[in-house]
Copies of this chain bind each other. A is one copy, B any other.
């Protein structure tokens, strides 16, 4: 990380990095629909509770989600729903990649 870039780029990268994990993308998508507690998310994801808890703390530290304790569970909410816009664009990249792949295959066959 030795560069003379504006620190703003690091701040942005921190946020994006917090999203750059399959489980965390799932969590973001799920919380956009409704708030959820750790246990529920753990159940859906299918890995260790402690692992999911860490993912949630990554998202919380990035300011992407907020938490609220109710009864004896902690409920997480998506703070900036706009992050879901990311997904649409990412899908666009993925389908562009798929198309390219297809073209390459088509070429080879001929």
* Residues of A bordering B, CB below 8 Å: 1-5, 9-13, 15-17, 19-26, 45-47, 62-64, 79-80, 82-83, 85-94, 96-97, 100
Q: Which residues of B contact A46 (CB under 8 A)?
A: 2-5
Number of copies: 2
Complex: chain B residue closest to A79, CB-CB: B96
A64 shortest CB reach to chain B, Å: 6
Instruction: Give CA–CA (A90, B79) in the complex, Å.
Output: 12
Q: List 22 A-B contacts (CB under 8 A).
A: A2-B47, A3-B23, A3-B45, A4-B46, A5-B23, A5-B26, A5-B46, A12-B25, A12-B87, A12-B91, A13-B20, A13-B25, A16-B19, A16-B25, A16-B86, A17-B17, A17-B20, A80-B92, A82-B89, A83-B89, A85-B86, A85-B89
